[in-house]
Amino acid sequence: MFEKALKGNNYYWIWLAFLGSLMAIGAFCYVRQFNYGLGLTGMSRDVSWGLYISQFTFLVGVAAGGVMLVLPYYVHNFKAFGRITILGEFLAIAALLMCLTFIVADLGQPMRMLNVILHAQPRSMLFYDMIVLNGYLFLNILCGWVILTAERKQVPPPKWIYIFVYISIPFAISIHTVTAMLYCGLPGRHFWLSAIIAPRFLASAFAAGPALIVVAALILKRVANFDAGKKAIDKMVTIIIYAALTNAFFVILEFFVGYYSNIPGHKHTLQYLFFGLEHNGHVYNNLVPFMWAFVALGIAGVALLAIPYSRKKNEFLLGLGCVMLFVSLWLDKGIGFVLGGFVPTPLEEITEYYPTANEIFITIGVWAMGFFVLTILYKIAVGVEHEIEA
Amino acid sequence: MDKKRRDFLKIAGVSTLAGLGGATVAGRLVSGSSPVQARAAHVVDSAAQEAGHGAPKAEAGGHGATGEVAKSGNRWGMVIDMRKFREHPGLAEKVVHTCHSIHNVPNFPDKKDEIKWIWLMEYENVFPEHSHYFKNKELLDHEVLVMCNHCDNPPCVKACPTRATFKNKDGIVAMDYHRCIGCRFCMAACPYGARSFNWRNPRDYIENYNREFPSRMRGVVEKCNLCAERVALGKQPACVEACGDTKAMIFGNLNDPDSEIRQVLKANYTIQRKPSLGTHPSVFYIV
Ligand code: SF4
Ligand code: SF4
């Protein structure tokens, strides 16, 4: 089916070339980092995870979000999702590839990566994360491919594939749960040490993933003549709104626990993220603008999705709402959550983190790689749809 | 694990299974009468009074999942006597310098690349759970030595996906630099900020290279190893040796009731860092 990715109009090729050049810049920057070491990033002893791991954390959610299409379609037999379930599965593939690349980019000794398997340590959450991420990637490739092939031949998919489809549903939940467990099992890091992290992650994932799919569906409608159908989009928007509100609710709960209990450790990071934290006469607040942008974009995004005019009548506003929400959730999970957790340090100090240009270009390169893969996969999926129609 | 001990465990296991003597084994485990647990309970208990936090109390009652504490053989620990450091100005700096030079710890000009095994911090940074109102002047004016606590229940070991960080039978939490993949999960897990990462090649920043100890490559984590290489030869850790006769740092076997460290622990009120987290540090402070 790959031949479908090889035929396209000029815009298609320009888009791929654009992504390709970003990938090349990223690769060049990665070679620099590989030769010098992670010292080329803005990370330090105090903030020992930076952009790479925070992007990874966010993208695991995007990957898991695809399940919001798979589940209604296969479990509840919600027919309207028929045409776009494949978009969810393919999005998961692209997002997981980004996740794995970010992890590799973050390793100090990437050549030893296999030690995670060779010397596996089953008490480490990272071990399980590796298993579920790779497992989910495999499941999505398998299910996506088999179902698309069957569709192309216009025969029902083989029965055995449903077993894997059903397995993929708990896997989607587990990738984000285990990723949350990377954080919420650590002693002494109050901001992460919260039982609500996994649900919060899932809620934001179920909003962010579908939001991206809606945007993709709206774009495909314009550029590729692929209509997901009004009913499907509308249902997804409903899912997005509920998930985004649940996420907001969880964030508010964190505030309640921190500020009502008044335990300093539980307040510090929230204070740092949203208002700036004073320490030895200096106010540290470099993430404050990001966090208020998260709030503002979140509210505006949900409003756009909820107002009947923008939701039903104006596709541009609908898309805009989804983009705003996606960016908002990215600010929350892809920036604030991971970076904020390092403030204050275990020794009650504050070190602020600023990514370097090299680090930012690698990050952009990985994102470009993800969109590159996504474009090709969507091209194939849409190509198959058109073939059936013809 | 030596063969005898393994055989014993096998027999104990079988008899427990068979329901024979199970109660006795369980009884032993619950009563936790081993010296280490006893000291942990004792110390944690007293620290709890000061910290005013309930958790450690419960632990002393056998509630905390502390993991098994080695009951026999050597179990290394350290006492840091801050009174002695106040009496001998400059001693702490000497200790830091000795450790860092014999272990080839690089000295980077930029704080961002920083690596440290043992260093000085303000009292309130080291003991954030303790009350800070109306601190006495001595505590205010003197910084405290901090290092890896060689926790009985080390979160860094649990987090490490490759077993590059591991706990020895003698309680030393050590590292295999050749196995570390540099994921830095252990750094996020350590609640004491005891770990450093080689953000760049350390070898250019080692002032006087000590050929007897390996230097590290970039991309791996490192930390205090309680001088495992010296202890294995029956020597004292370098920091302890640097203190000379001041007895500002005392190293020894916590499992031996007659050891010097046990006598010191018995005679003094000691505290540990962040006892409520249940990591059970093996480094004790006399403030
Ligand atoms: S102090 Fe930190 S690095 Fe040392 S054993 Fe405890 S958790 Fe591990
Ligand atoms: S950085 Fe090294 S020692 Fe630390 S958790 Fe990763 S592999 Fe283990």
Evaluated on CA atoms B202, B208, B209, B214, the torsion sign reads: negative
Mean pLDDT value of segment A194-201: 96
Q: How many residue pairs bridge chain A and chain B with CB atoms within 8 Å of each other? A: 141
Rounded to the nearest integer, the mean pLDDT of chain A is 94
Q: Residue B266's pLDDT band (boundaries 50, 70, 90)? A: very high
CA A263, CA A319: separation in Å to the nearest integer? 41
Residue B36 has pLDDT above 80, yes or no: no
User: In whole angstroms, what is the distance from residue B94 CA to residue B96 CA?
Assistant: 5
pLDDT at B71: 60
pLDDT-based confidence at residue B27 (cuts at 50, 70, 90): very low
Residue A385's pLDDT is 86
Paired tokens of A98? 């980004």
Distance A53 CA to ligand 2 centre (A): 15
- Full DSSP string of A317-354: HHHHHHHHHHHHHHHIIIIIIHHHTTSS-TTS------
Residue B52 has pLDDT above 50, yes or no: no
A315-331 helix and A51-65 helix, angle to the nearest 10 degrees: 130
Optimal mutation site among B181, B186, B217, interface A, most CBs of chain A within 10 A: B181
The predicted structure's pLDDT at residue A9 = 87
Of B150, B157, B158, B172, the one to substitute when testing ligand 1's pocket (max ligand atoms within 8 A of C-beta) is: B150
Q: Residue A204 corresponds to which amino acid?
A: S
Taking only the tens place, the pLDDT of each residue in B229-258 is 999 999 999 999 999 999 999 999 999 999
| pLDDT exceeds 60 at position A221 | yes
Length of chain B: 287
Q: Is A159 on the interface with B (CB under 8 A)?
A: no
Mean pLDDT of B79-107: 95
Going by pLDDT thresholds of 50, 70 and 90, the confidence category of residue B55 is: very low
Give CA A173 to chain center in angstroms.
13
Mean pLDDT of B115-127: 94
What pLDDT score does A112 carry? 95
Q: CB-CB: which of B158, B181, B278 is closest to A123? A: B158
Nearest CA-CA distance, residue A106 and chain B, Å: 7
The C-alpha atoms of residue A20 and residue B7 are separated, in whole angstroms, by 62
Q: Which residues of A touch B274 (CB under 8 A)?
A: 188
Percent of chain A with pLDDT over 90: 90
Mean pLDDT in residue range A99-113: 96
Residue of A62, A135, A43 lying closest to A373 (CA atoms) = A62
Distances (CA, A) of A10 to A20, A185, A223: 15, 50, 11
Q: Using pLDDT thresholds of 50, 70 and 90, give the confidence band for residue A193.
A: very high
pTM here is 0.88
Ligand 2: list residues with CB < 6 Å: B 159-160, 162, 164-165, 175, 180-186, 221
In this prediction, residue B49 carries a pLDDT of: 36
Per-residue pLDDT tens digits for A327-362: 999 999 999 999 999 999 999 999 999 999 999 999
> Which range, of A82-86, A169-173, A380-384, B5-9, averages the lowest pLDDT?
B5-9
- Chain B interface test: which of A102, A106, A107, A124 (most B C-beta within 10 Å): A124
pLDDT reading at B56 higher than 70: no
In the predicted structure, residue A326 carries a pLDDT above the cut 60: yes
Question: What is the reported pLDDT for B132?
Answer: 67
CB contact under 8 A, B199 and A116: no
CB A148 within 8 A of CB A380: yes
pLDDT tens digits, one per residue of A80-95: 998 889 999 999 999 9
**Which residues of chain A make contact with B158, given a CB cutoff of 8 A?**
123-124
Percent of chain A with pLDDT over 70: 100
**What is the C-alpha to C-alpha distance for residues A13 and A19, in angstroms, rounded to an integer?**
10
Q: Who among B126, B184, B201 is closest to A48 (CB)? A: B184
Q: Is B106 in the pocket of ligand 1 (CB under 6 A)?
A: no
